Amino acid sequence: MKRNLFRCLGLAAALATSSIASAQTALRMGYALAPAPNSHYGVAGSAFAEEIAKRTQGRFKIEQYPNSQLGGEREMIESVQLGTLDLVVTSSGPVPGFVPETGIVDIPFLFRDPAHARAVLDGAIGQELLAKFPARNLIALAWGEQGFRHLTNNKRPVGTPEDMKGLKLRTMENPVHITAFRTLGAAPTPMAWPEVITGLQQGTIDGQENPISVITSAKLSQVQKFLTLTRHVYSPAVVILSPKIWGSLSEADKSTFREASKTAAAAMRRFVDDLEKRGVDDLKAQGMQVVMGIDTAQFQSTLAPAYAEYAKKYGQANIDRIKNYK
* Helix axis angle, 251-285 to 40-55, nearest 10°: 150
Where does residue 77 rank: exposed (0-12), middle (13-18), buried (19+ CB within 10 A)?
buried
| 128 to 167: interface string for ligand PAF, x by CB under 6 A | ------------------x---------------------
Task: Kindly state the smallest distance separating residue 237's Cβ from ligand PAF, in Å.
Answer: 6
- Closer to ligand PAF at the Cβ: 30 or 253? 30
Cis previous bond, 37, omega within 30 = yes
| 243 to 282: interface string for ligand PAF, x by CB under 6 A | ----------------------------------------
- Closer to ligand PAF at the Cβ: 94 or 126? 94
Task: Kindly state the smallest distance separating residue 62's Cβ from ligand PAF, in Å.
Answer: 18
- Closer to ligand PAF at the Cβ: 64 or 146? 146
Total chain residues near ligand PAF (CB under 6 A): 11
176 binds ligand PAF (CB under 6 A): no
Asked if 288 contacts 227 with a C-beta cutoff of 8 angstroms, the reply is yes
Task: Pick one of 81, 152, 210, 228: the residue that binds ligand PAF (CB under 6 A).
Answer: 210
Task: Kindly state the smallest distance separating residue 17's Cβ from ligand PAF, in Å.
Answer: 40
Would you list the DSSP string of 228-289?
A: EEEEEEEEEEEEEE-HHHHHHS-HHHHHHHHHHHHHHHHHHHHHHHHHHHHHHHHHHHTT-E
Task: Map the footprint of ligand PAF across residues 28-47, applying CB under 6 A.
Answer: 32-33
Task: Pick one of 98, 143, 148, 193: the residue that binds ligand PAF (CB under 6 A).
Answer: 193
236 binds ligand PAF (CB under 6 A): no
Q: Tell me how long the chain is.
A: 326
91 binds ligand PAF (CB under 6 A): yes
Task: Kindly state the smallest distance separating residue 219's Cβ from ligand PAF, in Å.
Answer: 12
Task: Pick one of 44, 62, 117, 172: the residue that binds ligand PAF (CB under 6 A).
Answer: 172
Distance in angstroms (rounded) separating the CA atoms of residues 186 and 311: 22
- Closer to ligand PAF at the Cβ: 75 or 273? 75
Task: Kindly state the smallest distance separating residue 114's Cβ from ligand PAF, in Å.
Answer: 16
In 3D, which of 239, 35, 231 has the Cα closest to residue 142?
A: 239
Task: Map the footprint of ligand PAF across residues 98-117, applying CB under 6 A.
Answer: none
214 binds ligand PAF (CB under 6 A): yes
Distance in angstroms (rounded) separating the CA atoms of residues 153 and 188: 13
174 binds ligand PAF (CB under 6 A): no
Strands 207-211 and 139-153: antiparallel
Helix-, strand-, coil-residue percentages of the chain, each rounded to 5:
55, 20, 25
Task: Kindly state the smallest distance separating residue 259's Cβ from ligand PAF, in Å.
Answer: 23
Helices (H), 95-211: 114-122, 124-130, 161-164, 175-183, 196-202
Task: Pick one of 45, 66, 93, 188: the residue that binds ligand PAF (CB under 6 A).
Answer: 93
Distance in angstroms (rounded) separating the CA atoms of residues 33 and 82: 22
71 binds ligand PAF (CB under 6 A): no
Distance in angstroms (rounded) separating the CA atoms of residues 141 and 258: 6
In 3D, which of 40, 91, 95, 88 has the Cα closest to residue 65?
A: 88
Residues that bind ligand PAF (CB under 6 A): 32-33, 73, 91, 93, 146, 172, 193, 210, 214, 235
